[in-house]
Amino acid sequence: MLEDVREVLITSEAIQARIVELGRQISADYAGKRPVLIGVLKGAAMFMMDLIRAMDIPVEVDFMAVSSYGASTHTSGVVRILKDLDASIEGRHALIVEDIVDTGLTLKYITENLIVRQPASLRICALLDKAENRRVNIPVDYVGFVIPNKFVIGYGLDYGEIYRNLGFIGVLKPEKYEE
């Protein structure tokens, strides 16, 4: 796997250090509350587990899965729910935990879908933000790192379902992308 990586964009140490900061900030912002963190499968699973360990307030976790790009590196704009939340979020403080915001289309769909369930509040935490590629205006409340407009892999992010188990965020060698 490592031989497929052209460049390490964010080291494992930098990711973990930033998550500690995010965990502190989110714990302070939700002090006295018991938020439900909603992880978007599969990409955000690793981030979610590290993030909750960096928090020192009671939290609940739930997951939803939406359709992604498949083996392509470009969004289709069409999003489908593959797995819904286990529990109701009505009256709850809900925090969506996402791996990466690119065009914003996925999060736009998810927030529109969740807001009608009448949570007490709904915020977004994303580890990575490709801000320059945004197509829809979506407020991201907590951002780990703003990154350039490159297709990245590792730390939960895949290309064709592999590379999720790398501890860092990297860019693949160009010949690895089938485009």
Q: Is there a catalytic annotation at residue 102?
A: yes
Distances from the Cα of 115 to the Cα of 48, 89, 94, 108, 124, angstroms: 21, 9, 10, 11, 12
Taking the C-alpha atoms of residue 47 and residue 1, their distance in angstroms, rounded to an integer, is 20
Please give the residues from 38 up to 57 whose contact with ligand IMP meets the rule CB under 6 A.
Answer: 43
Q: Is 105 in the site for ligand IMP (CB under 6 A)?
A: yes
Q: Is 102 in the site for ligand IMP (CB under 6 A)?
A: yes
Q: Is 151 in the site for ligand IMP (CB under 6 A)?
A: yes
Q: Shortest Cβ distance from residue 148 to ligand IMP (Å)?
A: 10
Question: What stretches of 70-155 show up as alpha helix (H) in DSSP?
Answer: 105-115
How buried is residue 80: exposed, middle or buried, by Cβ count under 10 Å (0-12/13-18/19+)?
exposed
**Catalytic residue chosen out of the listed positions 4, 62, 84, 102:** 102
Q: Which is nearer to ligand IMP, 77 or 91 (CB)?
A: 77
Q: Which is nearer to ligand IMP, 19 or 96 (CB)?
A: 96
Tell the residue number behind the tokens 């998550």, with chain if given: 19
Instruction: Kindly compute the dihedral angle of the four CA atoms of residues 112, 117, 123, 127, in this order, to the nearest 10 degrees.
Output: -70
Q: Which is nearer to ligand IMP, 30 or 140 (CB)?
A: 140
Inter-helix orientation angle 45-53/12-29, to 10°: 60
Please give the residues from 109 up to 148 whose contact with ligand IMP meets the rule CB under 6 A.
Answer: none
* Catalytic sites, residue numbers: 102
Question: Using CB under 6 A as the criterion, which residues of the chain lie in contact with ligand IMP when the complex forms?
Answer: 43, 68-69, 75, 98-106, 151-152, 157
